[in-house]
């Protein structure tokens, strides 16, 4: 079949690509290494993947495109990448903001909160031991096994499938060998010579929108580098449900999702290794903290059951898997430890976040709220932990908000009303390009204070928008979307509290993890009504607690033990099925402190 020649203009460069007749532009872009964000999973309804045809015959418009153009009065050269099918050579401009940036953010020193909490023990997931071996020890596997077991005092030690395969190349260097042992129970490899000064682990937070990773030296327990990047799966849908819908649509799609995640991880790993001046083949251990859907996709488990009520995961805890089996390009014998799912949409990112805060073993009553593309909530009371997920949606990641953007340089992260205008602060002190989650929350808080907004969410004085900065306004519809996201979280907290028979005044602390970095002001969170008006010292910003938890799992045997026990301690609550869900949700739509008033149940 004849290939169609295409040229893409992107970021000041020209990228050439080829397509088969009838392929959609979005798919060709993905294959060409220019994945774009498809918010509605390529269904042609969100109208956000607009590209401009600079040259070439204009292909016929689909109905979705016609409708959108009528609504927005767009010129005929503006087309939807997810709808446009290719039959003729074209030159197409791809707007930068549409690209899923492979750009990788260095996170060095950017973790808010207290950094790593004191470890209860230093017992890395993978350790190295130097052995003195005689020639005859290496001749037979059984002999080698018994020598290693007795030398190290690890009676239960098993051999990985290819752990000893180098034993036949017996040379002088093998007299001194280094055994690589996973969790004191599995021999992963035997390296020639003394290599015990280098062994690395990778902590991974696989999120719906973002993948964050940290590279650790498992000898010293030191962080070598941290970075995050977009999850390339966003090319198949922005939110979890659209990813599930895509995965179950036809065979092979789950694999596409898996490959996209693996690609994101591989890119990140390479950057981390370069940054730290190490080789990726030194990485023997990975701790993965992914949300429930990401965990399933990563481990090649069917996601069907997560797409319909009662939204049950296919597994909670999962056995460690060889990295090679799941397609990670690290050391070929590397093992992956997965932080357990806790039920429904409460996944390994929450279990690792809970471990990071130490909440499961703390005395007292605590709430843990993770605000990301979903909003997950955990409530600890006594020995019990209740967990729930809410449909908060990605509004606080800036998605679906007219002036919203992710927390990147140029995003307004904080505002203060000065009496005649909003004073703002941007990330990196750059010119403002949009508002990120903390900025949006901040505008809501200050607008309420300044009288721009009523508690009902209505913009006052007959206006239809709030001007925040030059060219950046928050529309009434934006505010409605933020109200819905806030209400999902607020009602979720309150429903969990009432399920446990607890009042918010009885809380000893509240952890807020996720998209709001340390830039968010707890006072503004309270003013908007996102959080109950606890004393400030009780509100703890945990930042990317999932990643920090994954790091702990790499380093601490106690943490891994707690992780194994956690699913047994946890009770999952399906909020939407609670009798007072609707009433609570509607009440929570109002902005301001009122929702948390005492005795207003």
Residue ranges in contact with another protein by CB under 8 A: 41, 43-45, 63-64, 241-242, 244-245, 248, 307-310, 391, 456-458, 464, 476-477, 480, 483, 574, 576-577, 581-582, 585-587, 589-590
User: Measured from the CB of residue 484, what is the shortest distance to another protein in angstroms?
Assistant: 8
Q: Smallest distance from the beta carbon of 376 to another protein, in angstroms? A: 17
Pick 101 or 248: Cβ nearer another protein: 248
Residue 451 CB neighbour total at 10 angstroms: 10
Beta carbon of residue 160, minimum distance to another protein (angstroms, whole number): 38
Closer CB to another protein, residue 43 or residue 449? 43
Q: How far is the CB of 318 from another protein (least distance, A)?
A: 23
Q: Tally the C-alpha atoms within 13 A of residue 331's C-alpha that lie toward its C-beta.
A: 25
Cβ closest to another protein, residue 46 vs residue 441: 46
In whole angstroms, the minimum distance from the beta carbon of 231 to another protein comes to 18
Closest CA to 502 of 380, 387, 360: 380
Alpha carbon 451 to chain centroid distance?
Answer: 36
In the Cβ-directed half-sphere of 492, how many Cα atoms lie within 13 Å?
Answer: 29
Residue 360 or 393: which CB sits closer to another protein?
A: 393
Minimal distance, residue 252 CB to another protein, in Å? 18
Three-state secondary structure call for residue 265:
helix
CB 256 within 8 A of CB 133: no
When the beta carbons of 504 and 581 are compared against another protein, the nearer one is 581
CA proximity to 115, closest of 484, 533, 548: 548
Residue 74 has, within 13 A of its CA and on its CB side, a CA count of 19
| DSSP states along 93-118 | E--GGGB-----EE-TT---TTSSPP
CB of 44 to another protein, least distance (A): 8
User: Are β-strands 200-206 and 283-290 bridged in parallel, bridged antiparallel, or unpaired?
Assistant: parallel
Question: Which regions of 133-269 does DSSP assign to beta strands (E)?
Answer: 158-159, 176-182, 186-192, 200-206, 210-217, 222-230
Give the SS3 label for residue 52.
strand
Return the DSSP state at 299.
T
CB of 112 to another protein, least distance (A): 33
DSSP structural state of residue 596: G
Smaller CB separation from another protein, 134 or 477: 477
Q: Which is nearer to another protein, 185 or 308 (CB)?
A: 308
Complex with another protein: residue 413 or 478, whichever CB lies closer: 478
Nearer to another protein, 64 or 262 (CB): 64
What residues contact 194, with CB distance under 8 A and at least 6 apart? Answer: 130, 176, 178
- Closest distance of CB 237 from another protein, Å: 8
Q: In the complex, what is the shortest distance from the CB of residue 205 to another protein, in angstroms, rounded to a whole number?
A: 25
Angle (CA) 392-397-399 rounded to 5° is: 85
- In whole angstroms, how close is the CB of 308 to another protein at the nearest point? 3
Of residues 204 and 486, the one with the C-beta less far from another protein: 486
- Strand-pair category, 222-230 with 283-290: unpaired
Residue 565: other Cβ atoms inside 10 A: 13
The two tokens of residue 168 are 């036949």
Sheet containing strand 283-290, edge to edge, reads: 105-106, 222-230, 210-217, 200-206, 283-290, 335-338, 321-322
Whether 108 and 225 have beta carbons less than 8 Å apart is answered as: yes
* Token couple for 63: 């109905």
With tokens 């752990």, the residue in question is 163
Nearer CB in complex with another protein: 461/568 = 461
CB atoms closer than 10 angstroms to residue 409: 12
Of 142 and 579, CB closest to another protein: 579
Q: Is 491 helix (H, G, I), strand (E, B) or coil?
A: helix
Task: Report the residue number, 31 or 308, with the smaller CB distance to another protein.
Answer: 308
The smaller minimum CB distance to another protein, of residues 420 and 577, is found at: 577
Q: How many helices (H) and strands (E) does the chain have?
A: 14, 27
Q: To which H or E segment does residue 184 belong?
A: none
SS (H, E, C) 395-450: HHHCCCCCCECCCCCCEEEEEEECCCCEEEEEHHHCCCCEECHHHHHHHHHHHHHH
Judged by beta carbon, residue 238 or residue 271, the one nearer another protein is 238
| Closest distance to another protein from the beta carbon of 401 (Å) | 15
Minimum CB separation from another protein for residue 461, in Å?
13
Tell me: cis bond preceding 310? Omega within 30 of 0 counts: yes
Q: Do 373 and 514 touch, CB atoms closer than 8 A?
A: no
**Beta carbon of residue 436, minimum distance to another protein (angstroms, whole number):** 24
CA distance 206 to 200: 19
State the minimum distance, in angstroms, from the CB of residue 582 to another protein.
Answer: 5
């Amino acid at each position: 079949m004849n290939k169609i020649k295409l040229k893409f203009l992107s970021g000041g460069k020209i990228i050439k690509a080829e397509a088969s007749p009838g392929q959609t532009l979005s798919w060709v872009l993905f294959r060409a290494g220019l994945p774009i964000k498809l918010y509605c999973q390529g269904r042609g309804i969100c109208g956000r993947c607009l590209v401009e045809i600079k040259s070439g015959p204009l292909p016929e418009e689909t109905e979705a495109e016609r409708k959108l153009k009528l609504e927005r009065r767009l010129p005929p050269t503006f087309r939807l990448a997810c709808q446009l099918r290719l039959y003729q050579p074209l030159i197409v401009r791809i707007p930068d903001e549409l690209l899923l940036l492979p750009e990788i953010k260095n996170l060095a020193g950017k973790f808010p909160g207290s950094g790593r909490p004191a470890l209860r023990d230093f017992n890395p997931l993978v350790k190295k031991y130097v052995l003195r071996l005689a020639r005859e020890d290496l001749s037979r596997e059984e002999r080698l096994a018994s020598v290693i077991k007795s030398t190290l005092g690890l009676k239960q030690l098993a051999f990985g499938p290819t752990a000893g395969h180098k034993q036949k190349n017996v040379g002088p260097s093998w007299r001194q060998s280094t055994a690589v042992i996973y969790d004191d129970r599995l021999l992963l490899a035997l390296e020639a010579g003394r290599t015990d000064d280098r062994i690395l682990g990778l902590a991974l937070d696989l999120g719906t929108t973002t993948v964050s990773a940290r590279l650790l030296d498992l000898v010293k327990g030191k962080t070598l580098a941290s970075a995050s990047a977009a999850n390339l799966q966003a090319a198949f849908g922005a939110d979890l449900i659209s990813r599930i819908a895509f995965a179950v649509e036809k065979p092979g799609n789950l694999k596409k999702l898996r490959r996209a995640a693996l690609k994101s991880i591989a890119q990140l790993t390479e950057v981390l290794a370069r940054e730290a001046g190490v080789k990726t083949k030194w990485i023997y251990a990975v701790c993965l903290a992914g949300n429930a859907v990401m965990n399933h996709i990563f481990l090649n488990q069917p996601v069907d059951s997560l797409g319909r009520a009662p939204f049950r995961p296919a597994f909670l805890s999962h056995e460690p898997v060889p990295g090679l089996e799941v397609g990670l390009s690290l050391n070929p014998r590397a093992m992956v430890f997965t932080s357990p799912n806790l039920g429904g949409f409460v996944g390994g990112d929450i279990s690792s976040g809970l471990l990071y805060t130490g909440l499961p073993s703390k005395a007292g009553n605590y709430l843990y709220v993770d605000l990301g593309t979903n909003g997950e909530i955990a409530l600890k009371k006594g020995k019990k932990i209740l967990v729930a997920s809410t449909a908060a949606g990605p509004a606080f990641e800036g998605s679906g908000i007219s002036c919203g953007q992710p927390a990147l340089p140029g995003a307004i992260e904080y505002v203060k009303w000065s009496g005649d205008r909003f004073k703002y602060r941007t990330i990196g002190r750059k010119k403002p390009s949009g508002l990120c989650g903390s900025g949006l929350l901040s505008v809501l808080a200050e607008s309420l204070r300044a009288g721009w907004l009523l508690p009902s969410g209505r913009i006052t004085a007959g206006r239809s928008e709030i001007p925040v900065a030059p060219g950046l306004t928050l529309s009434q519809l934006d505010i409605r979307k933020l109200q819905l996201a806030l209400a999902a979280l607020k009602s979720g907290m309150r429903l969990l509290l009432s399920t446990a028979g607890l009042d918010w005044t009885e809380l000893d602390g509240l952890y807020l993890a996720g998209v709001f970095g340390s830039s968010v002001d707890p006072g503004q969170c309270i003013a908007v009504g996102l959080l109950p008006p606890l004393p400030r010292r009780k509100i703890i910003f945990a930042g990317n607690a999932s990643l920090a938890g994954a790091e702990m799992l790499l380093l601490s045997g106690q943490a891994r033990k707690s992780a194994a026990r956690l699913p047994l301690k946890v009770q999952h609550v399906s909020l939407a099925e609670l009798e007072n869900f609707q009433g609570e949700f509607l009440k929570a739509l109002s902005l301001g402190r009122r929702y948390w008033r005492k005795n207003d149940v």
